[in-house]
Each structure stands twice: as C-alpha cells, then as structure tokens.
C-alpha cells in the first residue's frame, strides 16, 4: 500500500491480530474499515464519541488534499476533538488515516475514563512507539 502523504510503500505490522499499515518515512498509520473499532474493542476500550467512517466523511464538506490508498479518491479532512485533530477519512468508507501521533492524541481525548482505560491506551501507545519508531515508551 502507498502512503497518502509521502507516496512511499508502507509496511504492514500486526497488533493483536489487527494489520496496521505504517509509513516509516512520515510515521502515519492507515486503518482499513473496521480496524480502528476492532483495535479499541480488543483493548476493552469503548468507541463512544468516535465518529464512524461513513458518518464523519459524509458530515464534513471540506475536501482533503490526500488520496485514499485503496480507492485513490480524495479523502475528507475531518476535525475531531478539542483542540481539533484533523484526520483523513475515505469518503467511500475504505479507511482512516492518522498522521504521526494523531492516534495517540485521539485516544487520549475520546477514551477518557477509569484507570484500566488509561492503561490500555498506554499499551497501544507503547506498542506504536516501540514498533514504529524504535523508541521505548514509559509505561508509568
């Protein structure tokens, strides 16, 4: 799969049986349809407050500058949260693109709650940091 930001080949990594497409050049992550929800479900995190791919892409009128790596159509740029995180969503519903660090920011904003949730977020963040950047993340 080709990165929608830098047009380089992405690598495929597996986390809890979910394939993540990752760009080693720009640190972006692509989730195919349903994979973000599956990631949150396997980490016992809810999806309350997170948009569905179909709903968010249809609600916004802004057109992004990036093309979906699956269908090659322009993705919608959707602002989420406060402060806003602009994520790119395929208008056909093929998937969602996170620039480097955006997934972690989104998880912290939309998955607040008990300590167990925060620990699950830290595990995901630690995996992403260690696997994709080679940096060991603090789990404290």
Over residues 32-48, the mean pLDDT reads: 77
Q: How far apart are CA 21 and CA 90, in angstroms?
A: 15
Check the CA dihedral 92-95-99-101 and report its sign. Answer: positive
Q: pLDDT tens, 47-92? A: 655 655 555 545 555 556 899 999 999 998 888 777 888 889 998 8
Q: Is the pLDDT of residue 132 over 60?
A: no
**Mean pLDDT throughout 88-112?**
83
Q: Tell me the CA distances in angstroms from 90 to 5, 31, 94, 131, one per residue in order.
A: 14, 11, 6, 26
């Amino acid at each position: 799969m080709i990165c929608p930001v830098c047009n380089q080949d992405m690598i495929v990594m597996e986390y809890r049986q979910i394939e993540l497409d990752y760009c080693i050049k720009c640190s972006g992550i692509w989730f195919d349809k349903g994979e973000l929800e599956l990631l949150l479900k396997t980490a016992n995190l809810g999806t309350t407050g997170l948009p569905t791919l179909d709903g968010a892409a249809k609600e916004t009128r802004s057109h992004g500058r990036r093309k979906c790596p699956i269908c090659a159509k322009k993705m919608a740029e959707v602002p989420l949260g406060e402060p806003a995180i602009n994520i790119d969503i395929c208008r056909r519903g093929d998937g969602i693109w996170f620039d480097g660090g955006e997934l972690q920011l989104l998880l912290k904003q939309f998955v607040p709650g008990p300590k167990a949730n925060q620990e699950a977020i830290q595990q995901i963040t630690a995996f992403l940091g260690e696997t994709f950047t080679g940096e060991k993340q603090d789990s404290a």
